[in-house]
Structures are given as structure tokens and as C-alpha cells.
Amino acid sequence: MKSMFSAVLGAAVLLAAQPASAQFVMTRTTPGVTYYHKAGATLADHDTQLAQCVADAQTTAQPASGGNALVLINPALGIAGVSYDLRRNRAGRRVNIENCMVANRWAIMTLGDADASRLSPLVREPARLHAALAGMVGAERPVGILTRWFTNDAVNGASDRFSGAERTEGVSLSLEAGMGASRGLIVLPPTPALPRPTLATLPLEPLERARHIRVTDDSTLVFIRLTGDIRVSADIIAFERLGPDASTPAWVDQRANLFAPSLNHRSVERGLPRVGVYAYRLPPGRWRLAGMARTDMAWSFCQGTIAFDARPGEALYLGSFDLSGQMLPDMTMRDDIVPASRRPEGLRAAEYTAEGRYPCSSVYIYGIEFPAS
């Protein structure tokens, strides 16, 4: 678990075939005989992306049933841990390979009976199957039925995102053929030598006293609003400060690089939405929406996410996140963010932009994008 987000959270179906009212399950593989497709791509493109997704999936692990991944202790101190379910790891990594490919804009095509009967026997002959896929993975008119493609499923409260990976379904011809061809294409960078973390690097807590909610010259004051019903009361979203490079966490400068607001402490009458507004004082830098978690299930948006720049002396509004709906920031500046009498001068909406992939870990992996306005 290389990043602070994974430290905190990891230690701490068919879209076209289903009726519109069905719940999409992100923790299972697509049934049927399938392959990955991207118009115009080559077989080499397919193999390289598959290799990257296999490598990223190998960094994930399924927690043991009843475990709790939300242990807010820096595991680099050697005092926090979580047990993993080795039986479910195989299924979970298959799920993560599929989610990774979809997050990188590869669609899933499901073969009809005739094509499935023709190609399925080649699973026993990976080289022949690989050759057969050469004309399929990038075809302008692909074989089969389009059954899954990228949407912001990970931030859709209607999706099933937090169940364990109990089993896999279907046969992925891409995976069966491409494992051998992809082997050796991706070489992971060595883990850098890191200093020992201190208490100053632990995740930030929200500011509680009014006198602390003020702008300072060496930090960025941010406000974030969460809403959701009782079902999401244990959910968190996590923001992570970027380090000097992809392999080095930002806390090497001995300042915190994570904050993770939740509605967990908000009491409410049954049936009414919970609302929480939180203020944090952040070290300056670039901060990405790194993932989300519910008890022992965590997601990393390591395949691409959104991020904002925090500059010293600024006050930013990070938006309102509906944890039981579309969990992307609504940047409407509401009256309940902060009372007018305490609203910092110059408070403005954060500007989110796209942020690329980074080293993965956690239980599940995916990517998100901010819809164009």
C-alpha cells in the first residue's frame, strides 16, 4: 500500500441488457464470452493497456469479512493492520482488471452464441486466440454486443459499489489471450526510501472552533459540504495531496496529505437527508479526489480523477457532494456553507481539472471525470 490514501483506507450487469431500474454492480465481472474493444486501437495497444491493468489489480486486496479498512492510523508507523481474504482476492483482481480497462475507455463486447462457440475453444490455445483478436479489438464495426462502457459509475449512489467480490462470471477472451502477450510489458518503478512519518503527517481533522476558521499565509482554508441519507452515513470521500513524483507521497515534507470527511457523526430524523459542512486548513499544493470508502470497502480513483490547486492565503469552496446520488461536486455557493458573518473575504469556488493516473492500491480501482459544463 504505497499512498497515504491506501494506507488510511486499506489499513484503515450489463448496462445495455439490464432494465433501466436495475442496479449496476461494480464488484462483479461481466457475464458471457467477452473481449475488450476500442475503435482504432491496435493489438499492441490492447496488450499494453491490459498489462497495466493487470499490474494495477495486483496491488489490490479484499479485506476479510467483518474487517474494518477505516483505521485512521498511519501504517508506516507499524502499528496498524488489516487482514485480507485470500479466497476473494482472485475474484477481486479480475473485477479490478475489468474496471481498469473500462476506466481507460475500453468497452466490453459480448459475443453472440455463434461467435462464442467459434472462439471459446481457443482459450486452450492462447497464441491462436491472441491472433484471432487482432482484427477485433480495434475494429470500426466490432463483433458482438456493446455491454459495458465508461460512465461515472463509481460516483453514482445508485450503483452497488461496496459489496465483496465473491465470484467471477463470464470468460474474457482478452484476458485469456493477452496474459502471455502482456507479460513483461509493464515494469513497476522501485519503491523509494521514505522518511519516517510523524504525527504531523496524520490525516487532517475538520476545524471545529470558529476562531480557527480563518485564512493564514501558509495554508489554504477550504469548505466542503456533504449530503446523503442514512444509508451512506458511514461513507467517506478522501482527498490526497500530490507528492513530488508519482512514487513519492506528499507527506515527505512532514505535512499532512489527506483529509476524509464523512457524515458519520450527523444525527437526523429517519427519511430526511443529512447535511454536513466542514472546514479544513490544507498545506498548499495540488489535491486530488483520491477515492471513497464504506467500512471495509474502499475505492481508489487511480485511473484518473479530478483535482484542484490550493494556494497559500486562499479560501476555497470544494463543492457539495451528494453521497447517495451523483457524487460529483455541485459548485453552487449555498447560504449554509458558512455564515455570512464568518465568511472569509475572497472565498471562491475551487477549479477542478483532470488529473492523470497514479500508483494504485485499495480494494477496488476505477477512474472518474468531471462532466464538461
Predicted model pTM? 0.87
| CA dist list (Å): 289 to 55, 256, 274, 307, 308 | 22, 15, 21, 6, 9
Query: Per-domain residue ranges for the chain?
Result: 4-182, 199-365
The closest of 176, 160, 165, 173 to 28, measured between CA atoms, is: 165
Q: What is the pLDDT of residues 127-156, one digit of tens each?
A: 999 999 999 999 999 999 999 999 999 999
Contact (Cβ atoms closer than 8 angstroms) between residue 352 and residue 329: yes
Q: Is 243 exposed, middle or buried (0-12, 13-18, 19+ CB in 10 A)?
A: buried
Helix-, strand-, coil-residue percentages of the chain, each rounded to 5: 25, 25, 50
Give 362's DSSP letter: S
**Cβ proximity of 248 and 193 under 8 Å:** no
Report how far residue 359's alpha carbon sits from residue 100's, in angstroms, rounded to the nearest whole number. Answer: 12
The residue type of 141 is R
Model pLDDT, residue 19: 36
Instruction: Give the pLDDT confidence score for residue 168 in this predicted structure.
Output: 86
Amino acid identity of residue 176, one-letter, is E
Determine how many CB atoms are found less than 10 A away from the CB of residue 103. 24
Fill in the DSSP letter of residue 209.
S
pLDDT of residue 26: 94
Amino acid 310: pLDDT: 98
Give the DSSP H/E element, type plus range, for residue 53: helix 43-57
pLDDT at 83: 60
Residues ≥6 apart with Cβ < 8 Å to 37: 106, 107, 108, 109, 136, 137, 138, 139, 142
pLDDT at 246: 83
Rounded Cα distance between 96 and 62, Å, is 11
What was the pLDDT predicted at 270?
Answer: 56
- In this prediction, the residues of the chain whose per-residue pLDDT falls under 70 are 1-22, 65-84, 181, 189, 210-211, 265-273, 339, 372-373
Instruction: State pLDDT tens for residues 55-107.
Output: 999 989 888 765 444 433 233 333 344 566 777 888 999 999 999 999 999 99
Going by the DSSP 8-state scheme, the letter that residue 182 receives in this structure is: H
